[in-house]
Amino acid sequence: MKINIGTRRSELAQVQADTVISMIKEKFNIDSEKVLIETKGDKVLNVTLDKIGGKGLFVKEIEHEMLGNKVDMAVHSMKDVPYDVPSEFEIVAIPVREDVRDAFVAFNNISFYDLPKGARIGTSSIRRGTQVKILRPDIEIVPIRGNVQTRIAKIEKENLDGIILAAAGLKRLKMENIITNYFDPMEIVPAIAQGALGIEMVKDHVLLAMIKELDCYDARICVDAERSFMATLNGDCHDCIGAYAYLDNDVMHMLGVYRIEGKIVKKQLSGDKNDYMKLGVDLAKNILENS
């Protein structure tokens, strides 16, 4: 038996799929094979994601292949997965989460905090750009798209002082050495589910119960809490939204940020980790009430 795993063509997406392939081999002694699929988000690189449909641009074509039985499962970056997963599918497993933080990369190794006034920073993320401007109102945000390597090349090509990327992706690509500095989640609240992988399958798949064993409960409830925050706010990549949930024994702490009528609101709360979905909802309501 061989499992077919659908993934995007980018090097990072393939590394993420390879991680799951290794997990399946180690736990079940079953071989898997990658099936490379080009998504709309990979094809359209000349405009920002919010202009061409937002979340879902990196998953729909792969879901189509699952429905056609071309692939058994998909490996996604969970931050690319909309909160309203189609009813035919299920996020079966969320393995152990990588670093959730955003990272700053500059060729000349100048820290973000030491950048000259008016420095040019590349990011395609409204969430990152908005929060960077709060830290440094003088900085110019330059929209850039493409895979990790393409964006790094644009530092020189577009005369940028640096770019902001997810630390998780750089670590998975073994490129941690190029990170100039990390942003604390309190400074730049991460994207919903940043650093987490999700394994998606059709609900009636014969291997579904087996693949569920790859789920990490702690990662799952933190990601689900953040996604409940996003769902309550009906949020996507069209505006500044971010959340980060983490555990301290039986207590879950949550931090969220959202823009309401031009105002950036950031709130925190803590509660019993067993109430993780409610915590995400409550944090969103807290932000709405205090806007």
Q: What is the pLDDT of residues 182-236, one digit of tens each?
A: 999 999 999 999 999 999 999 999 999 999 999 999 999 999 999 999 999 987 6
How would you classify residue 234: left for phi > 0, otherwise alpha for psi between -120 and 50, otherwise beta?
Answer: left
Residue 200, token pair as written in the block: 């998606």
pLDDT in tens, 73-102: 999 999 989 888 999 999 999 999 999 999
Count the neighbouring beta carbons within 10 Å of the beta carbon of residue 203: 10
Say what the pLDDT of residue 45 is: 47
> Dihedral (C-alpha) 120, 266, 225, 51: value to the nearest 10 degrees?
-40
The token pair that represents 1 in the structure block: 């038996």
Is residue 17, in this structure, part of any structural domain at all? yes
- Are 21 and 76 in a shared domain? yes
| Confidence band, pLDDT 50/70/90 cuts, at residue 107 | confident
- 3-state SS track over 159-214: CCCEEEEEHHHHHHCCCHHHCCEEECCCCCCCCCCCCCEEEEEECCCCCHHHHHHH
155 and 199 housed in the same domain = no
User: Counting Cβ atoms within 10 Å, is residue 19 exposed (0-12), middle (13-18) or buried (19+)?
Assistant: middle
Claim to verify: residue 171 and residue 51 sit in the same structural domain: no
Question: Is residue 209 located within the same domain as residue 175?
Answer: no
Q: How far apart are CA 288 and CA 284, in angstroms?
A: 6
Look at residue 281 and tell me if it is in a domain.
yes
| Nearest residue to 78 via CA among 92, 65, 61, 64 | 92
What number of helices (H) and strands (E) belong to the chain? 10, 13
- Asked if the structure places residue 159 within a domain, the reply is yes
Closest CA to 197 of 11, 15, 4, 9: 15
Could you tell me the CATH number of the domain that includes residue 16?
Answer: 3.40.190.10
Q: Is residue 189 part of a domain?
A: no
Q: What is the CATH number of the domain that holds 255?
A: 3.30.160.40
Indicate whether 6 and 56 sit together in one domain: yes
Range of the domain at 159: 102-183
Query: How is residue 76 written in tokens?
Result: 């996604």
Same domain, 210 and 67: yes
Task: Say which residue the tokens 């959730």 belong to.
Answer: 100
Q: Residue 191's pLDDT is what? A: 96
Supply the pLDDT for residue 234.
86
Q: Are 72 and 4 in contact (CB under 8 A)?
A: yes
Query: Which CA distances in Å does 174 have to 16, 108, 113, 150, 286?
Result: 12, 20, 25, 16, 39
Cα separation of 30 and 250, whole Å?
Answer: 35
Tell me: do 211 and 257 sit in the same domain. Answer: no
Q: 242-290, pLDDT tens digit by residue?
A: 999 999 999 999 999 999 988 999 999 999 999 999 999 999 999 999 7
For the stretch 21-79, pLDDT in tens is 999 999 999 999 999 998 765 555 445 545 444 556 678 889 999 999 999 999 999 99
Catalytic residue list: 80
Taking only the tens place, the pLDDT of each residue in 123-153 is 989 999 999 999 999 999 999 988 899 999 9
For residue 188, being part of any structural domain is answered with no
Facing residues of 93 across strands?
199
Q: Looking up tokens 């990549």, which residue turns up?
A: 237
Q: How far apart are CA 196 and CA 220, in angstroms?
A: 9
* CA-wise closest residue to 259 among 247, 241, 271: 241
**How many domains does the chain divide into?**
3
